[in-house]
Structure 1
């Protein structure tokens, strides 16, 4: 989602030569606050709670982007993006200064962009767009546990990333996250690739990602203190999705599969867990200032521990109404209902402030949120 930005141009002179490089620095941010109602919280003995919390649809953040013209169609670029809670002022992403993004790199008019640092993966590039949670709805619309990372809750540390230009509607990206472990390359490393195609009203994308020992330590590709929902021997994500736009209506359809082996910590601990997510969604722009959006997600799971195999399933319905007071400020109403089915023993709407272990013994859960968002 594009942000409204305030650009601060800076011209840097190089004293030792007559050459001058044109540079720019951009300050931007989002402040999102609202009041939530959440039902069936185990921590409340099956009761409900009202609270003032940060995001969604977008978590609060501020950031700095910069670019320097190197000549010949080349630019040096960087992004530093901080996440914080508007409710209490604390840092997000495990207390990191720039926990949302922190990278530097180069971009060329003829080939694409190469960056290094803490950044988003190819799943976010190509599978977040067809979902409601990865675009306008935010975290509460996520698939179970956001295990497929379409809500971009997971960033990859120590990573190199390449993203191509768009040729005849096609583009691709690839990322590798280093383990930073001597003699143990596969201890908390990451690899992702993705591709997409856009032509007029049609946009489609596909991606694959693999984490080896994600969350096993704090200095590998996936931090155990900021990003890892599951600590496991291996986590794989793959899927395909697309959108179609007809006038004021944009509809999306997506399937993703997440497979985890050897889970030792997380909302579910098991030898094997597979989660298939099927989502259909739509957004209708009633006027330039008002839109309504929502959809339905079905999660079909298979979980094995020893000789015991079960089939948990979840149904989730999402709805959002948004009204723009100006180009930078909007108010919104979000509602989410989830029901556990099959062998699932709890409902858990992702990002409502507690983990699935803490949340309902009930098979149903509701989250309602009213809030305001300002972009700068």
Structure 2
């Protein structure tokens, strides 16, 4: 009897050991002060801005999104783990949450992981186009790789299924597939999201890293690779009337080069719509977007960054270039001070702003007047926990 009880106790101890779990609360708060010139004001008879001014603004999220979340993992034995992640964004300056995006508007996933076979997750997540983050000198700050494609590089995606492979000989694969949940596979206007999908392959070694990425976002109303007409006065529905910027295919090639204290980064993106008809002059159906920059890790705490971002649109949409410098200083492992100064220069027919705004010319879009420049500088503090 004693032997039987001892065996049962040992077996129970083994089950407990295999079922170890942990939950982590984490977050980030970003806040500061921003100055921007070329901010649109007023309106003409068509609703388009007819003036511009300067603005000081209390900001949250210029260097990085303010967020909080929970993530957990349970070891179920045999090299297998169950994991989850819940994450939502908020405004540090006002305390307001994501609103219509839901409490956990960035991540709400559950899945299984195995060190040998990889990780499979389901739920809401940052869309795969956010994979440019690792190759953007400013790490997708508010004025960087999303600005000239009007937020095309940083959306979230619902109804998603994702797979991350383990790293093999320096290579790894990541893919996503998001259902529209409509009776039409690509979307038919009955659901808030069309079908979305993408895949990326990355190779990493001690000297450099390269990544190839493909993704597509379908219009939830029509299922097409075209977001619909863009109103000149900027009054349109996000993700349904923002043209190539909201529904399209995206082909991206990126690199990082590691040279001691220096990191050199660059990328090229081809953004292509499909099925666009009756497109007005000045509304692009294709975009060529590229950037390059360098980060100097001057000391373990201080980093200086310089970068250039450029976009060129067809159909008379013109081109724009962002020139920017900045950097950060770590007060501790979890707290840093940040600074960025930038200017965007538009060609005669373009009106891209520093922020990743929807297309259009109204004051509500925050875009500069057509053919005009916009400049800004911000300084802030960011704390992670």
Would the TM-score normalized by the shorter structure come out above 0.5? yes
Q: 1:291 aligns with which of 289, 303, 321?
A: 303
Contact 1:263-1:272 at 8 Å conserved across structures: no
Residues 1:129 and 2:129 are matched in the alignment: no
SS at match of 2:129: helix
Unaligned runs of 5+ in 1: 1-16, 218-223, 304-309
Q: Paired residues, what number?
A: 338
Residue 236 of structure 1 corresponds to 249
Q: Alpha-carbon deviations, 1:225-266, whole Å to 9, x = none?
A: 8877836794111110101011110000110111234679xx
Contact 1:148-1:258 at 8 Å conserved across structures: no
RMSD of aligned Cα (Å): 2.7
Q: 1:228 to 1:320 in 2, by over 3 A?
A: farther
Once the two structures are TM-superposed, the CA of residue 210 in structure 1 deviates from its matched residue by 1.3
- The whole-number CA distance in structure 1 between the counterparts of 2:202 and 2:111 is 22
- The whole-number CA distance in structure 1 between the counterparts of 2:207 and 2:221 is 39
Once the two structures are TM-superposed, the CA of residue 342 in structure 1 deviates from its matched residue by 5.1
Q: 1:290 to 1:99 in 2, by over 3 A?
A: same
- How do 1:1-376 residues align onto structure 2 when only pairs under 5 Å count? 19-20=15-16, 21-43=19-41, 45-92=51-98, 94-125=100-131, 127-133=132-138, 135=139, 138-147=141-150, 149-150=152-153, 153-182=154-183, 184-187=184-187, 188-214=194-220, 230=242, 234-261=247-274, 272-303=284-315, 310-341=316-347, 343-344=349-350, 346-351=351-356, 357-358=362-363, 359-361=367-369, 363-376=372-385
- The whole-number CA distance in structure 2 between the counterparts of 1:241 and 1:106 is 29
SS at match of 1:349: coil
- The whole-number CA distance in structure 2 between the counterparts of 1:196 and 1:229 is 33
SS at match of 1:128: helix
Q: Alpha-carbon deviations, 1:147-166, whole Å to 9, x = none?
A: 5744xx20111010111011
- The whole-number CA distance in structure 2 between the counterparts of 1:193 and 1:52 is 37
Q: Alpha-carbon deviations, 1:157-177, whole Å to 9, x = none?
A: 101011101100001111111
- The whole-number CA distance in structure 1 between the counterparts of 2:314 and 2:167 is 38
Q: Give the TM-score normalised by structure 1.
A: 0.82
Q: Alpha-carbon deviations, 1:256-283, whole Å to 9, x = none?
A: 111234679xxx9977521111111110
Contact 2:325-2:340 at 8 Å conserved across structures: yes
Once the two structures are TM-superposed, the CA of residue 323 in structure 1 deviates from its matched residue by 1.1
Which one has the bigger strand percentage? 1
Contact 1:34-1:372 at 8 Å conserved across structures: yes
